Structure 1
Amino acid sequence: MPLLIAAFFITALLYASVGFGGGSTYNALLALSGVDYRILPLLALSCNIIVVAGSTLRFARAGITPWRGALFMTALAAPAALLGGLTPIGEGAFLAILGASLVLTAMTMLLPVSEGEGEARRWARFIPLGAAPLGYLAGLVGIGGGIFLAPLLHLARWREARAIAATASFFILVNSLFGLAGQVLKGGEGRFLAAFDIGLPLLVAVAIGGQIGSLLALKFMPQRWIRWGTAGLTLWVGLRLLFAM
């Protein structure tokens, strides 16, 4: 457990420093540790909520969040996240989807990030259509979905970088809340209590790591280095999970 707690702390620090929650990596770390796959989304989504809640609040207080676009995309995704949380899934399918999503996550983190708004791409108007599938994935396997949404918004030059980070944080927070609600309804009180019993020290670790990551990491390391390090960690865990199946 001490190694797992340390891994969760580092994951939260890295992901929070680039505006994400880390749900996919929490899931994979738990799966590789032999934790029952049925409680993984409960723990990962709870960790997501803790990590992104602080950054979402800070973005809102600073007036950075583009609420009209953020609310529209999240409104499409949240009901799908609830449905994903309610959907039964076998262990093999769960681990395959999780491993593939980790590899895709690593690839999205290596995509270039635009530093200004620039001219919006013509296909940017179609990006909200992807919000519902991302929400469903969030609820199904415990991934907030923002880490896939943000690169699309950057490539489309939808807004400037901080506004996109604020949108991704809010997207992850709401999807995680709805996905967690679906998981609790599906699994019942017993599974929720089992997840809480295992996860309490992990939740404390991500709370501390997330705060340090969002407040301090960017002051000491270039954001590009942090993104590359996070992508490398995510890719390694995803490939290990897929090869272990």
Structure 2
Amino acid sequence: MLDVATYWIFILILPVISFLYASVGHGGASGYLALMALFSFAPEVMKPTALLLNLFVAGIAFYHYYKEGYFNRKLFLSFAITSIPMAFIGGMIIIDASIYKKILALLLIFAILKMLNVFGNEKSKVKDIKIWQGLLVGAIIGFFSGLIGIGGGIILSPVILVLHWGKMKEAAAVSALFIWVNSAAGLIGQLSSGASLPNEAFIFVVFALIGGFLGGYYGSKKFNNKSLRYMLAFVLILASFKLFLI
């Protein structure tokens, strides 16, 4: 449990993270997990809480990007067919806390690179994705999404851009819905295996929604704030180091 002062510091940082992630079409689970790691939350609390927040923030992000016409249904289905059942299976698996923290630390590197816009150079020519490629990528990302407590968008977006399967806004829209379905499947898997949400979880949702709504709105309209992204990348780096050391 956090003391009152620490609790409010956590609460006030939460919408900043959801704002930045929603602005690029993500739910923010890797950011929430990093923040909870810095505040020494237990892994069994971190995973379901991050997925719950993902459901709401990714849903809002998807709404804004869909409204602007960036959603590619075919590209989304290529990944989602296998990611949903694998996220459920991953969510049912309970792993040792120390192993969990090391895997999460590695996955945070994707989030750091994404926030630093390393994968941000889109190509004018887009390639068609082959069915087997989408199914394989979806299955792998889906499994780790449920296992770690992320939606998988922070991994999927770079993959889409690096392999030229879509442009930035298209990748953001597809990732947002991908995150939502994986978060739902992963959370159901975790709850069915005995995990539970903390009493404060829905308070966290309210604050995350504030940042998520604004981030999704401005992100879908070509918003880009480099200084804020660098700040978030710094927070993720700190969390990654802490996870490696504990």
Alignment correspondent of 1:212: 214
- How far residue 34 of structure 1 moved from its aligned partner, in angstroms, is 3.0
Q: Which amino acid aligns with 1:236?
A: L
List aligned pairs for 1:156-235, cutoff 5 A: 156-187=163-194, 191-192=195-196, 195-216=197-218, 222-235=224-237
SS where residue 143 of structure 1 aligns? coil
Alignment correspondent of 2:54: 48
Once residues 124 and 182 of structure 1 are traced to their aligned partners in structure 2, the CA distance between those partners, rounded to angstroms, is 26
Task: Give yes or no for the alignment of 1:92 onto 2:94.
Answer: no
TM-score normalised to structure 2 length: 0.87
Task: Give yes or no for the alignment of 1:138 onto 2:145.
Answer: yes
Inter-CA distance 130–220: structure 2 relative to 1 (3 Å threshold): closer
Once residues 45 and 32 of structure 1 are traced to their aligned partners in structure 2, the CA distance between those partners, rounded to angstroms, is 18
Alignment correspondent of 1:77: 83
- How far residue 69 of structure 1 moved from its aligned partner, in angstroms, is 1.5
Inter-CA distance 220–119: structure 2 relative to 1 (3 Å threshold): closer
Once residues 76 and 176 of structure 1 are traced to their aligned partners in structure 2, the CA distance between those partners, rounded to angstroms, is 14
Task: Give yes or no for the alignment of 1:149 onto 2:156.
Answer: yes
Q: Which amino acid aligns with 1:34?
A: S
Once residues 39 and 91 of structure 1 are traced to their aligned partners in structure 2, the CA distance between those partners, rounded to angstroms, is 11
**What is the number of residues matched between the two proteins?**
239
Q: Which 10-residue stretch deviates more, 126-135 or 144-153?
A: 126-135
TM-score normalised to structure 1 length: 0.87
Once residues 219 and 62 of structure 1 are traced to their aligned partners in structure 2, the CA distance between those partners, rounded to angstroms, is 8
SS where residue 95 of structure 1 aligns? helix
Alignment correspondent of 2:74: 68
Flag structure 1 segments of 5+ consecutive residues without an equivalent.
Answer: none
Alignment correspondent of 2:26: 20
The structure with the largest helix share of the pair is 1
CA contact (8 A) 1:52 1:172 kept: yes
CA contact (8 A) 1:124 1:158 kept: no
Q: Which amino acid aligns with 1:130?
A: V
Q: Which 10-residue stretch deviates more, 123-132 or 60-69?
A: 123-132
Residues 106-146 of structure 1 deviation map (CA, whole Å, 9 limit, x = unaligned): 12443242345415399997354222111111111111111
Alignment correspondent of 2:238: 236
RMSD of aligned Cα (Å): 2.5
Once residues 102 and 152 of structure 1 are traced to their aligned partners in structure 2, the CA distance between those partners, rounded to angstroms, is 15
SS where residue 201 of structure 1 aligns? helix
Inter-CA distance 96–112: structure 2 relative to 1 (3 Å threshold): closer
Once residues 220 and 64 of structure 1 are traced to their aligned partners in structure 2, the CA distance between those partners, rounded to angstroms, is 12
CA contact (8 A) 1:15 1:230 kept: no
SS where residue 197 of structure 1 aligns? coil
Q: Which 10-residue stretch deviates more, 86-95 or 57-66?
A: 57-66
